[in-house]
Amino acid sequence: EVQLVESGGGLVQPGGSLRLSCTVSGLTFSSYWMNWVRQAPGKGLEWVANINQDGTEKYYLDSVKGRFTISRDNAKNSLSLQMNGLRAEDTAIYYCARVRYTYGHHDYWGQGTLVTVSS
């Protein structure tokens, strides 16, 4: 059974930092691109960042560039998102998801972890 389990969300003040993790099991983690996708309360889905199989290629949504850093540890089947300089507009549920191929679909999703940025 494929499982993606996110953790690390919580309440943080504006300007603060959080590190999200996603632990993957049941699939060959090291063979696929991985994405972070977020959903603000009551809003739609928004792609945030992605990383290639060996971590040498990383791409970010414009609004998070310079603040967020995606990384992976293939030995631990783990994906991370380091979020610094958090803003109120970063408040959302953050999902990790496997991308089936470079331009493709997200076939497996985690249950999400809620990040709330508020004073």
Partner 1 sequence: QSVLTQPPSVSGAPGQRVTISCTGSSSNIGAGYDVHWYQQLPGAAPKLLIYGNSNRPSGVPDRFSGSRSGTSASLAITGLRAEDEGDYYCQSYGSSLSALYVFGTGTKVTVL
CA distance 4 to 106: 12
Of the pair 16, 81, the CB lying nearest partner 1 is at 81
Please choose, out of 8-16, 17-25, 81-89, 98-106, the segment that lies near partner 1 by the rule CB under 8 A. 98-106
Q: How does 40-60 read in b/e, with b if 16+ C-beta sit within 10 Å?
A: eeeeeeeebbbbeeeeeeeeb
Say whether residue 35 binds partner 1 (CB under 8 A). Answer: yes
Among 28, 87, 104, 118, binds partner 1 (CB under 8 A): 104
**Smallest distance, partner 1 to C-beta of residue 25, A:** 16
Report the candidate in 40, 29, 37 with the shortest Cα–Cα distance to residue 89. Answer: 40
Tokens found for residue 37: 């996708």
Summarize as ranges the residues that interact with partner 1 (CB under 8 A).
35, 37, 44-47, 50, 59, 61-62, 95, 100, 103-107, 109-112
